Amino acid sequence: MENDMSSDPPQACASGAAIRPPEMRRRDFLNIAPVAAAGTGAVIALWPLIDSMNPSAEVLAQSSTDVDLASVEAGQRITVNWRGQPVFIARRTGEEIARARADDANSSLIDPQTDAERVQRDPWLIVIGVCTHLGCVPLGQSPGDPRGRYGGWFCPCHGSVYDASGRVRRGPAPRNLAVPPYAFRGDSIVHIGQ
């Protein structure tokens, strides 16, 4: 007869399922409890790090901005700050709009988009004023700034040229000036952001 070192065989309950001996349940608890405590401790220790990744109140305040366009005259361009980036707002003249639309079908566009895809309401063009090549701020907001051959913006860093619709016409910039999310609220207020 062999010497059996195991504990008593499990007993069956009324439903027929085996009941594990009490020492097995205690052993399971002794294995699970430290793991649960360690997991809880890790979450408590990491919470300040996770919470620090949330945007600050200052950033949340800049997540959207309202701009009154009533005082902007035809042909004038203004710059506002949104999320730490310059946003160019241009009240384009009829000539600038006609020139931008005439170039819609131009096959030499580096990043093809029509003027209508970039503008929600004429005569307003609203773009993020950061060159899509290396992040410089293009010239063209002030009346004396060089605007390039297409009457838009000129990036002095590496020579990218944008037209009056903010489309890149001469690179090295690979994409058009980005259009931020915006919506008009009434005739003269534009809400930039979500």
- Does position 9 have pLDDT exceeding 60, yes or no? no
Q: What is the predicted pLDDT for the residue at 7?
A: 52
- Does position 178 have pLDDT exceeding 90, yes or no? yes
Please say whether the structural domain 59-193 has been given the CATH code 2.102.10.10: yes
Predicted confidence band at 105 (pLDDT cuts at 50, 70, 90)? confident
- Does position 8 have pLDDT exceeding 60, yes or no? no
- Delimit the domains of the chain by residue range: 11-52, 59-193
Q: What is the predicted pLDDT for the residue at 97?
A: 92
pTM reported for the whole predicted model: 0.68
- Does position 16 have pLDDT exceeding 80, yes or no? no
Three-state secondary structure string covering the chain? CCCCCCCCCCEECCCCCEECCHHHHHHHHHHHHHHHHHHHHHHHHHHHHHHHCCCCHHHHHCCEEEEECCCCCCCCEEEEEECCEEEEEEECCHHHHHHHHHCCCCCCCCCCCCHHHHCCCCCEEEEECCCCCCCCCCECCCCCCCCCCCEEEECCCCCCEEECCCCEEECCCCCCCCCCCEEEECCCEEEEEC
User: Is 158 an annotated catalytic residue?
Assistant: yes
Q: What is the predicted pLDDT for the residue at 89?
A: 95
Exactly one of 25, 149, 158, 185 is catalytic; which is it?
A: 158
